[in-house]
Structure 1
Amino acid sequence: MSSTAERQGGSPGGHPRGLYFLAGTELWERFSFYGMQALLTLYMVKQLLLPEFAENVWGLAALRGMAEGMFGTLGNVGFASVIAGLYSGLVYFTPLLGGLIADQLLGAKRTVTIGVLLMSAGHLAMTFDQLFVVALVLLILGSGLLKGNISSQVGTLYPQDDASMRDRGFAIFSTGINIGAAAGPLVTGAVAAIWGWHAGFAVAAGLMLVALATYLAGQKHLPDTPPRRHADFQHPPLSKADGKVVLALIAVILLTMPAEITYPMVWTIGPIWVDSYVNLGFVPATWFGSMDSIGAIASAPLLVMFWASQARKRREPDSLGKMAIGTGLVGVAALGLAAGSFIFPAKDSVPLIWAIACYFLMGVGWMYYWPTTLSLVSGVAPRAVVATMVSGAFISPFIAHLAAGVIGINFKRMSPSAFWAMDGAIGLAGAVLLFALRPMLNRALGTDKRKDAPENAF
């Protein structure tokens, strides 16, 4: 491929053909990933951790011993929360290693292909109880090789000076992610409800093979990204001003941790709470793994129009303001779950629409804070370290998801209303911190000097 034009010919919207293969790959990968994650905690609590099953799982006794050595005796719900938190956290840590492997050893194409193969093997291993721990390891490693590298390939499809087209390309790519994240739990949850847990995991394995086929089919439309060597590029040293910006961005990344603790609780403890306390009727509890993603998809065009309207009136919040709002929204959503548990304390009594509304609000909050975080980091980081800083942003969900897994141990030690109130308080505390530190951080980042800065942004 010698030019972008050659990659665009005849493709919808004038975008490179490779974009649609990458978006399709990520759609099916997220479909399988979130489909499996929606089943994970309930599968552990309802089947895998029962004595007659647990004794046959390779490595599970050692893993439980390690967990109880750190946190004391754990019930099945507490142990399931630790595993889910560890899994979710490591999925966000290993992309840092995957990026190094692609950059220095294998190149993006081979690294992503190996990642998809490992994830396919991991999902397939989930269909066997005894391979549960092996399956999680394969999924963590595979996701690390795939997650960051496939996103970086989207950017390489466009010339550096074509920012507008590249932004729209990333929007298409992100739409594939959200569609997969929303649809996966619906399909695997329905299959698991009818044919059992392992059938649901088998569907996830099959979809990963579809992702692999999609990626391989698009190889000729993707740019070659051979591994780089240190001799091939040199960046000037960071200036003192650059160093201040980097430190301020690290603070911003750390300030996303309260939201990243509050939000993923709906993925780990949420399914257990829904299964026990929500009046589901015919709706499988596993379908709730889609509700926050559906909320994010539904709110995205409305938020774009809302922000555009605010911008015309010069009242659009700045990036840190949006992050604070989003963090507050996820806190409020968790408090909504607490209120539902308090008003309707009996089993199977929380109205379905109440729980759905809270999950939707979680998705709206995520749309406010996380894409904005990545946009801010990539936009103001010094060019010499922009890739490192964007990858470093995922350290926040890595640490926060580990913490969420530990906090989830308390679900069986507290009333549901008290647990969700605690979860909501973490999010609200994060929002207060962001609002309080926003002026200082904007000065450090230089974002208080934007020409388009709103007059009355909060």
Structure 2
Amino acid sequence: MTSGAPARERTFFGHPRGLATLFGTEMWERFSWYGLRAILATFMAASPVTGGLGMSEQTAQAVIGVYGALIYLVALPGGWVADRVLGARRAVLWGGFVIMLGHISMAIPVTTPAFVWLGLFLIVIGTGLLKPNISAMVGKLYPEDDDARRDAGFSLFYLGINLGAFIAPIVVGWLARDGRWHLGFGAAAVGMALGLTQYVRGRRHLRGVGDRPGHRLTAAERRHFTIALVSAVVLVAVAMAVWVASGTFSLDGFALVMTLVIVAVPVLYFGYILLGAHGLTEEEHARMRAYVWLFAAAAVFWMIYDLAPTVLLFFAEHRTDLNLLGLRVTPATTQSFNPLFIMVFVPVFAALWVKLGERVTAPQKFAFALFMVGLSFVVMALAARLAASGRVSVWWLVLVYLVQVFGELALSPVGLSVTTKLAPEAFKGQMLGVWFIAVSVGDAVGGQTGRLREHMSEPAYFLTLAAIALAAGAALLASAGRLRVLMREHAAHPGG
């Protein structure tokens, strides 16, 4: 028998087999992340009698805001560690393992909250290693000139993210009902374990992608990095110890300090780019000034949008009749509405942007997103007013999430694209990470908005945040022409 041509390698819906490995890993990692997120606020605010931490809802909102902000902030150093020390493949492996340990820590059924804080810390560190690098590996599965298949591959990958996000709140919320919080946390740990198992078993399909760091540290650089890291850890530990010893430490105070630090990061970074001597051209300076406006608009959007796992979750728990199509659902299940609508409307919006082409600019899309998220909180204000006389239908929340998803699909994918377009040549590698800092700032500031609840009614709170978003959207829309000039798009649109 003569040997014929080598057997054709199996594919994943026409894509490299390695995409199936990364798809499954990310789906289960998102299952663990969104599963925890769906019950974390109610766990923190629940009475210790039912196994909760007994926080006020405002404190839980502030803490979760900082937690979400740190998740996005550590993506920057996580990408650097992969590029300079571990390589993307090992960064994803270790990141997933640390995330799993974090969920296991939270699942330990003890009364001390120490394991909860340790678990959240581990999840932040692990996600910083996994999240940016698994996406980078998806891109590297394809030849550089295969843009069409790469874009389609990322669409499948995005489907995996939202599939995990849709299933998790339903499963974890059901398991954690009636105070069985640690069973819910355990399910998140199992989800990450399944993701790790698929990653390890399927690594041969990755064909060496991410095996080595792109720019490995030299021996001298490694020593300097180790010294700097240890010094930073010691400095933070000493500062925290002094703060605790002073008797003035509180979770609210810690959340406020962290919010100020997070907000300072982009201020200092943009100042460094725009005021430093980096050889930027006049056009690059102009584009960066335009980008600062878009960054601020995105931060305002995420400030409201990412109140879903706190403010909207508490509303579902206390103000909503949770009968949906004849079924009684848990408050956590309402967190599945968002990813469900994303999966439904992604192809619709993708086709819409292709049809509209360059007739609608990035500032106009961002303004639309702000109008949508502002409108969603106008709806929430109406629901809150009706809830004063009794629980309202869960369909109010369905409507809120539907409107918000329209905004997200106008801002989130467009933001990544415009970041790449406007980034100065000297900072292109960093700017995608900077885009995620907008989410970080929005989450942190959104957590602090709970302080307003102490001074106003619930409908007034929703209307205040809606007014901020609508005003920001109006300002951005009014400035769209000026921003288009700064972005150097005016030459292509002489009639605009």
TM more than 0.5: yes
Give a deviation string over 1:356-388, Cα, whole Å, max 9, x none.
Answer: 111221122111111111121123434543231
Structure 2 residue 312 is matched with structure 1 residue 288: no
1:114-153 to structure 2, matched below 5 A, reads 114-128=94-108, 129-130=111-112, 131-153=115-137
Alignment of 1:20 onto 2:4? no
> 1:229 is matched with which residue?
215
Displacement of 1:54 after TM fit? 4.8
Kindly provide the amino acid, as one letter, of the partner of residue 11 in structure 1: T
> Distance between the aligned counterparts of 2:150 and 2:364, measured in 1?
25
> What's the counterpart of residue 97 of structure 1?
77
| Kept after mapping to 1: 8 A contact 2:377/2:400 | yes
Q: How has the CA–CA distance of structure 1 residues 14 and 384 changed in structure 2, closer, same or farther, with 3 Å as cutoff?
A: farther
CA distance in 2, matches of 1:327, 1:181: 23
Aligned partner (choices 373, 385, 394) of residue 436 of structure 2: 394
CA 1:39–1:97: 2 relative to 1, 3 Å: same
* Structure-2 residue corresponding to 1:72: none
Letter in 2 for 1:99: G
- Residues 297 and 366 of structure 2 are in contact (CA less than 8 Å); yes or no, is this contact kept in structure 1? no
Kindly state the Cα deviation for residue 145 of structure 1 after the two structures are TM-superposed: 0.8
1:79 matches 2:65: no
Amino acid at match of 1:229: H
Indicate the SS of the match to 1:346. coil
Cα distance in structure 1, aligned partners of 2:23 and 2:121: 25
Question: Residue 152 of structure 1 aligns to which amino acid in structure 2?
Answer: A
Give the corresponding residue for 1:71. Answer: none
Q: What SS does structure 2 have at the residue aligned with 1:393?
A: helix
Deviation of 1:271 (Å): 0.9
Give the partner amino acid of 1:224: G
Contact 2:137 2:210 in 1 (8 A): no
1:8-52 Cα shifts (integer Å, max 9, x gaps)? 93313432111221111111111110110010000111145x698
Q: Which residue of 2 aligns with 1:112?
A: 92
- 1:256–1:430 Cα contact (<8 Å) kept: no
> Structure 1 residues 167, 449: CA separation in 2 closer, same or farther (over 3 Å shift)?
farther
Q: 1: distance between equivalents of 2:279 and 2:494?
A: 33
Query: Secondary structure at 1:290's aligned position in 2?
Result: helix
What is the rounded CA distance, in whole Å, between the counterparts of 2:348 and 2:27 in structure 1? 22
Amino acid aligned to 2:212: P
Find the counterpart in structure 2 of residue 40 from structure 1: 40
Are the equivalent residues in 2 in contact too, given 1:107–1:227 (CA < 8 A)? Answer: yes
Q: Structure 1 residues 317 and 376 mapped into 2: Cα distance closer, same or farther (>3 Å)?
A: same
Please, which moves more after superposition, 393-402 or 159-168? 159-168
1:214 CA displacement: 1.6
Q: SS of the counterpart of 1:126?
A: helix
Q: How does 1:372-391 map to 2 (within 5 A)?
A: 372-391=414-433
Tell me which residue corresponds to 1:58. Answer: none
- For the aligned residues, what is the CA RMSD? 2.6
1:342 and 2:390 aligned: no
Cα distance in structure 1, aligned partners of 2:96 and 2:155:
22
Summarize the Cα distance change of 1:275–1:162 in structure 2 as closer, same or farther, 3 Å threshold.
Answer: same
Q: Any idea what the Cα deviations from partners look like across 1:386-445, whole Å, max 9, x if unmatched?
A: 231111001111111111111123335432211111221222122123212222222222
> 2: CA distance between counterparts of 1:346 and 1:265?
24
Contact kept in structure 2, 1:295 and 1:362, CA below 8 Å: no
C-alpha separation in 1, matches of 2:389 and 2:59:
24
Structure 2: runs of 5 or more not aligned: 1-5, 219-277
CA distance in 2, matches of 1:178, 1:434: 29
Using the size of structure 1 for normalisation, the TM-score is: 0.86
Asked if the contact 2:99–2:192 (Cα under 8 Å) also holds between the matched residues in 1, the reply is yes
Check whether the contact 2:103–2:186 (CA below 8 A) recurs between aligned residues. yes
Give SS of 2:392's match: coil
How many residues were matched structurally?
422
Query: Which residue type is aligned with residue 204 of structure 1?
Result: A
Deviation string, structure 1 residues 156-194 (Cα, Å, up to 9, x no partner): 112222211111111111111111112111111111126
1:169 paired with 2:153, answer: yes
Q: Hey, what does 1:329 align to over in structure 2?
A: 372
Matched residue, 2:203: 219
What percent identity do the matched residue pairs reach? 29
- Aligned residue identity for 2:439: P
TM-score, L = length of structure 2: 0.79
Q: Check conservation: 1:323, 1:370, Cα contact below 8 A.
A: no
User: Which residue of structure 1 aligns with residue 275 of structure 2?
Assistant: none
Long gaps (5+) in structure 1: 1-5, 56-74
- Once the two structures are superposed, residues 192-239 of structure 1 have per-residue CA deviations (whole angstroms, 9 ceiling, x without a partner) of 12671111111110000011112212222221352233899xxx9643
Q: CA 1:449–1:185 in structure 2 vs 1: closer, same or farther (change >3 Å)?
A: farther
8 A Cα contact 1:294 1:360, kept in partner: no
Q: Distance in 2 between matches of 1:343 and 1:126?
A: 37
Partners of 1:372 and 1:360 in 2: how far apart?
19
Q: Match for 1:305: what amino acid?
A: A
